[in-house]
Structure 1
């Protein structure tokens, strides 16, 4: 083999996508000296997304002070890639759940810092901003981020305020007249891999509120607040986002990105493939290695493996999937472009045992795949 492209998702709880690239890349170089190895580690928009893009494409990490989930100053960052044309922002960098530690309270947390990151990137003259949703501590519908770019929120008394999850129900009017012009003409794409609506039993508060610290009573309170926000957005901005898939992502930040930032929501892998010019990258490749912790019917809904396979099929490049495990209902994967699927666990062991052998098991599996490829070529 003369060229191999590596584009794995992480194996949740065991191996990062960067570590997987390192392991597979090392075995490729061992068996096929001189082979060009292109590594594109993938993140889903949450923590680590900026580093994945920078690893794949190079670029610059920009550091700056913004507000954390509790409106306190913190050092955060975003990435600049594509010769300064594109900024990559992960909301977890300033609104992430780990940042609140033992203070989890989605009634009080804000996405204000995310808006500050977006605004700073815009001022640097980028033409495109990619925003990754995931791992948030918030339930403010993106109102905090919107306030950071000049969107004004008023209560019934006509007082301006910055809504949090606990005060979205107080919004009486939304005014975009003072929204910054710095974002005019900039394409904003939001990475979003879930299809939850803004509110309701499958909405932001009910599905994601508990992990952010909401008890059952608070979940109902937060859900009513987001429902109210949807109504005001409909009244003042003329948008019905109530049942748009993905608007419930990251405490309804998905809705805020559409309403306040004129962004489109896009599956994470599609964003990654577009950003790295995947169709061009795989030109002349002998094989593509991808994978995830478990490939199952969920993987067929536009996740990394299938997204990669569909584009690779158009170029006629074989796709080898290496996964921690594989379910029985994945025949469709072969139809859309996957050439073969290999699982790394060699013995019938519980995950709590095998997870600590992931490096060893992945190395062994890839080693044997490459031995087979080498023998067939010979």
Structure 2
């Protein structure tokens, strides 16, 4: 490891598997879906979701923040606080002007838009909150983290659909490499478990219709998959240059060795069926890391459980890897957290590197024969993983991949 390598020194997770990194890790290792009927979606064609449990914002954040923030920012703050504490920086012992915050979001806060648009449609514009815009624009998630942590370096929002938070990790890596900051709190947050996104995705036929048995709905790589399940959550990672982490004797969890991005330029919503763009991002990330396909021991797949994505991703993997390493998708357990999914999955990939355990893909009962991959299922698999890739793909043909290695 060289002094300029970018390393992960802190993790923070808030997911449907639980509050905190330990709870999330236990949940994904258990391989049991968190999907359930969602009262917020009652009456819609699809009324199931994966939601963060035991989320008492007053107890967790205090009444002032509970009132002022939308749910997406609340999730982000909790994850950011855990990541900073995990990195040994909770005491604020940093040069605040050298701390960046980079957060990926898909669509930010439909929660706020829905509330205010309803007031406008009812002819009551005088009831619209003067803070509605401030609370809902995508950059405010990063801004709220910066405010909470008193981080005064670059504070950025990144939006590349469901690849957003993986893109955020790449952007933060570049800020560190370029000397724009010394510490970056990077990742993503999403809380679009609301009626407009749920109705829209249902109209697109992107959501699973397995509402009679929610726990079996999200089925990545399975022959009988029929769409994803809406999720929510936040994942934040603390990134630093290796020399800086060493100087303050910080524990290093992993190295962010490579990053690659591409665009399919194929369709606004459907992935390019042969996975050419995804394969290009994978190759770029490997080249950036200075690794060959044979060096990779594990793939944390995007694995949405949609008809189109799973086979396209499988083709991309087979195009890059002579032998595709053991692969998993966490969306069978966590659902699809959209713009936050990539960072949550990258954080779990870090944990796989540390513990030598690959979480299973939930609900994979009969693998689609078109998806010729070694998919981990039923139980965690113990493997000596030294290098792994984490894939994220999104609407508009957005592809982003990070390579993570043991330090």
TM-score strictly above 0.5: no
Q: TM-score range by the shorter chain?
A: under 0.3
Query: Which TM-score applies when normalising by structure 1?
Result: 0.28
Taking structure 2 as the reference length, the TM-score comes to 0.26
Higher RCO, Cα 8 Å, sep 6+? 2
